[in-house]
Amino acid sequence: MLVEAGLAVQFVFGLTILVRAIQKGSISRYPLFYSYLIYYLAAGAVDECIYVWAPAHYPTFFWIKFLTLVMAEFALLLEIGDHLFAQYPALRQLARMMTVGIALVFCLAYILPPLLERRPSEVAIFDLVKRSALTKGVIFLGLGVTARHFRIGVGRSIMGIAAGLICFLGINMANFALAQSLGRIQYGAVFSAVGIFSHTLMLLVWAVSLWRIDPALATGSPNPPLSGGPLMSELGKYNRELDRLLRR
């Protein structure tokens, strides 16, 4: 009953976000985010139909949907980084590289190694979810620290998208870790309830923050370009001068 009610609330929130986006014409501003949301709602609906009419196929479909969403969240973080630094092209590029760099390093050193071990698939999936959630958290913290370091104002909409996603990831990571540790018998019911809660909270945060969409900012730097040559030669000059001064 709780699960059904939670799913119904999620659908209401999700559809509200989509209807508002269509009304405001803002779908093209956050294409990856709305693709993620549409996939989430559509796959959720199909998921429920399979659960009712073909329950034998439900677990397979559920995990395919779930793992696709886990991967899509990396793309969502790229979009969040792009919007955080939309007005600063060099910083935007830096944020993209930072996102890709952290994701690659964590994938190779942290996410993939346990997946290559011979273990039951359930344990592997739990590990994948936990570790990828932590990786996304680190990426988000990197983006947040960079935005703060450069004193960049963050719009309400993109802040809401990021906050909703990270709230979900944080709760989900703890939930999967506890489920893996305590087992299905002890934690099964709580696992399901917390899972529904984390998704509902994410959609609620998104619905509230996207009720009013921030006005679109012009891309490109709002500051006049500094004197000097192209960016890379200027950065190189900074590094060379610093080395020369400090390496005495």
Partner 1 sequence: MIAAIVYSILGLLLLVGVAVFIRSSRQRPEELEERRELDGSVWDTEGLSVAERIFDPRDYCWLRDHAGFPRLAESLRRSRQRMALEWLGAVRRSFDDLLKASESPDTDAAGSPVNWNLLRQALRFHFVVGYAYFVVRFFGPYHSLVPSCRWMRPETSGRFGHERLGPAHSSRLF
* 70 contacts partner 1 (rule: CB under 8 A): no
- Minimum distance, C-beta of residue 182 to partner 1, in the bound complex (Å): 7
CA dihedral for 30, 36, 38, 40, sign (positive or negative): negative
* 120 contacts partner 1 (rule: CB under 8 A): no
Q: What is the amino acid identity at position 245?
A: L
Q: Which is nearer to partner 1, 6 or 144 (CB)?
A: 144
CA dihedral for 136, 141, 144, 149, sign (positive or negative): negative
Take residue 181 and report the two structure tokens written for it: 């540790």
Q: Which is nearer to partner 1, 8 or 242 (CB)?
A: 242
Among 1, 56, 218, 245, indicate the residue that binds partner 1 (CB under 8 A).
Answer: 245
Q: Which is nearer to partner 1, 57 or 148 (CB)?
A: 148
Among 98, 124, 125, 208, indicate the residue that binds partner 1 (CB under 8 A).
Answer: 98
- Minimum distance, C-beta of residue 22 to partner 1, in the bound complex (Å): 27
Take residue 1 and report the two structure tokens written for it: 């009953």
Q: Residue 96, Cβ neighbours under 10 Å: how many? A: 14
**Biggest distance spanned by C-alpha atoms of the chain:** 76
- Contact between residue 128 and residue 176 where contact means Cβ atoms under 8 Å apart: no
* 169 contacts partner 1 (rule: CB under 8 A): yes
Residues in region 183-222 near partner 1 by CB under 8 A: 220-221
If you count DSSP H runs as helices and E runs as strands, how many of each does the chain have, helices first?
A: 8, 0
* 225 contacts partner 1 (rule: CB under 8 A): yes
- CA 50 to mean position of chain CA atoms: 27
Among 2, 22, 45, 90, indicate the residue that binds partner 1 (CB under 8 A).
Answer: 90
Return the C-alpha torsion angle 243, 96, 206, 180, nearest 10: -90
Residues in region 123-162 near partner 1 by CB under 8 A: 130, 133-134, 137, 140-141, 144, 147-154, 159, 162
- Contact between residue 210 and residue 17 where contact means Cβ atoms under 8 Å apart: yes
* 177 contacts partner 1 (rule: CB under 8 A): yes
- Minimum distance, C-beta of residue 57 to partner 1, in the bound complex (Å): 30
- Contact between residue 22 and residue 48 where contact means Cβ atoms under 8 Å apart: no
Binding site for partner 1 (CB under 8 A): 88-94, 96-98, 101, 130, 133-134, 137, 140-141, 144, 147-154, 159, 162-163, 166-167, 169-174, 176-178, 180-182, 220-221, 223-226, 228, 230-239, 241-243, 245-248
